[in-house]
Amino acid sequence: MGPGNDTTKFNPAIKVIFWLSVAFFIVLIAIIFLPVVTELPIDFLFTAIPGIIFLLLGIALIVVTVKSGLRGLLKKFLLITIYSCTPV
């Protein structure tokens, strides 16, 4: 129990939600920039559904990060990273 042991309360859900949000971000970038996907007639659903999931994952990661009791650079990194995807 040293001073550098601030991540003892790390919740595994943080890791899962973070990597899911990264995956949905890649899906959104692919939807925007790949011409095959943008020419489909149901373009709105392909953009809206991953966008909504990305937003909900961002909100969930904010809540889990704040309630987990993390401190230091990890908490700052997670909050700054996820605030970029949520217009909260």
The tens digit of pLDDT for each residue in 52-79 reads 888 898 888 888 888 888 888 888 888 8
pTM above 0.95, yes or no: no
The tens digit of pLDDT for each residue in 20-59 reads 988 988 888 887 787 665 566 666 777 788 888 888 988 8
- Distance between CA 47 and CA 68 in Å, rounded? 31
Place of tokens 């605030």: 83
**DSSP 8-state symbol, 85:** T
**Residue ranges per structural domain of the chain:** 12-83
CA distances from 10 to 5, 7, 30, 88 (A): 11, 5, 31, 24
pLDDT for res 47? 73
State whether residue 87 is helix, strand or coil. coil
